[in-house]
Amino acid sequence: MSLADHPSSVVSYFYIFWDIRDSAKCIRTLTSSGQVGSGDTCSSVRSLTIPPGESQINHIALNPSGSFLYAAAGNAVRMWDLRKFVSTGKLTGHVGPVTCLTVEKLGNGQDVVLTGSKDHHIKMFEVAEGAQGSIGSGHTFDPAHQDGVESLAVHGDIFYSSSRDHYIKKWDLASKQLLQSVSAQADWVSALGVVPGSSVLLSGCRGGLLRLWHTDSLAPLGEVQGHDSPINGLASNSSQLFTASDDRTVKIWEAKGKISETSDAPI
């Protein structure tokens, strides 16, 4: 199955909140510069230009409690308190555009934000409750990728990074050490995802190829040519995979049985 009809690639300098309890009514528009608009300012008209003072938003992620939104735009990540709809500050330190991020929660209640950038580096930020202003990175993972970082995925105490250098790297969050590095695709590895409740890592590349890997060994499990254009995003549940592409479609892949580490090209 494919979900089509997008007019073009999604490029934005603002993000919109909808209340799905009220006929999907738009309630706020938040911009990359930290401005807030009311629901009345929401527009469904596609704009091809970015206003002065705004930047393209490359990635957004909620913290596990849903109280904070992190938005990557330019070389920084803007923090938003969604309980008040106010910008509280930025995560800074990259020298190139931040292309991807993911958020986890520490036992002490702090948000841990991992960011990847075109500067080839992955940084970690620990954001305490109520933190404001400019927050610097607490750690930069080494060795860096040899090209821009495209995607990040967390799996328990492990996280994975992918890059335009064609590699997937496996990292230990606690020790902050590199555990493994594999040449994963013949093109940019543009998207990563982990199948919930399994030991399967997903990767998508600029050539449209979808691959499955074992999370422990990074041994290949199977592959399928998913799209003729770059795969930009991946998601899954225990029986389905979802791929979003530059070809303006989202494809739904049905697994032959439950997706698991024993699957052999299960899609």
pLDDT digits 0-9 by tens, 156-174: 999 999 999 999 999 999 9
> What is the rounded distance in angstroms from the CA atom of residue 229 to the CA atom of residue 128?
40
Task: Assess whether pLDDT exceeds 70 at residue 3.
Answer: no
Residue 44 confidence (pLDDT) above 70: no
Which of 54-58, 125-129, 134-138 tops mean pLDDT?
134-138
| pLDDT surpassing 50 at residue 96 | yes
Structural contact between residues 144 and 169, judged by C-beta atoms closer than 8 angstroms: no
User: Which residues have C-beta within 8 Å of that of residue 57, sequence separation ≥ 6?
Assistant: 12, 13, 14, 15, 32, 71, 72, 73
Domains annotated for the chain, with CATH where assigned, are 146-256 (2.130.10.10)
Work out the number of other CB atoms within 10 angstroms of the CB of residue 10. Answer: 12
pLDDT at 267 over 70: no
Q: Are strands 250-254 and 158-163 parallel, antiparallel or unpaired?
A: unpaired
Q: Which stretch of DSSP H or E encloses residue 107?
A: none
Based on its alpha-carbon atoms, the radius of gyration of the chain, rounded to whole angstroms, reads 18
Confidence check: pLDDT of 13 > 70: no
Mean per-residue pLDDT for 94-110? 90
Q: Which two tokens stand for residue 199?
A: 């030991």
- The pTM assigned to this predicted structure is 0.84
Max Cα distance, the chain (Å): 52
Task: Give the percent of the chain with pLDDT over 90.
Answer: 55
Nearest CA-CA partner of 114 in 158, 54, 82: 158
28: left (phi over 0), alpha (psi -120 to 50) or beta: beta
For the ranges 46-55, 79-88, 133-142, 201-210, which has the lowest average pLDDT? 46-55
Q: Which residues pair with 262 in a beta bridge?
A: none
pLDDT of residue 261: 46
189 pLDDT above the threshold of 60: yes
**Per residue in 191-238, pLDDT tens?**
999 998 889 999 999 999 999 999 999 999 989 999 999 999 998 887
Instruction: Decide if pLDDT at 2 tops 50.
Output: no
CA dist., res. 198 & res. 156, Å (int): 11
pLDDT of residue 90: 96
State the pairing for strand pair 240-245/231-236. Answer: antiparallel
Six token digits for residue 81:
């308190």
Q: Give the neighbor-by-neighbor strand order of the sheet with 200-205.
A: 189-194, 200-205, 209-214, 220-225
Q: How far apart are CA 239 and CA 261, in angstroms?
A: 13
Specify the range with the lowest mean pLDDT, choosing from 25-34, 66-75, 134-143, 244-253: 25-34
pLDDT reported for residue 10: 42
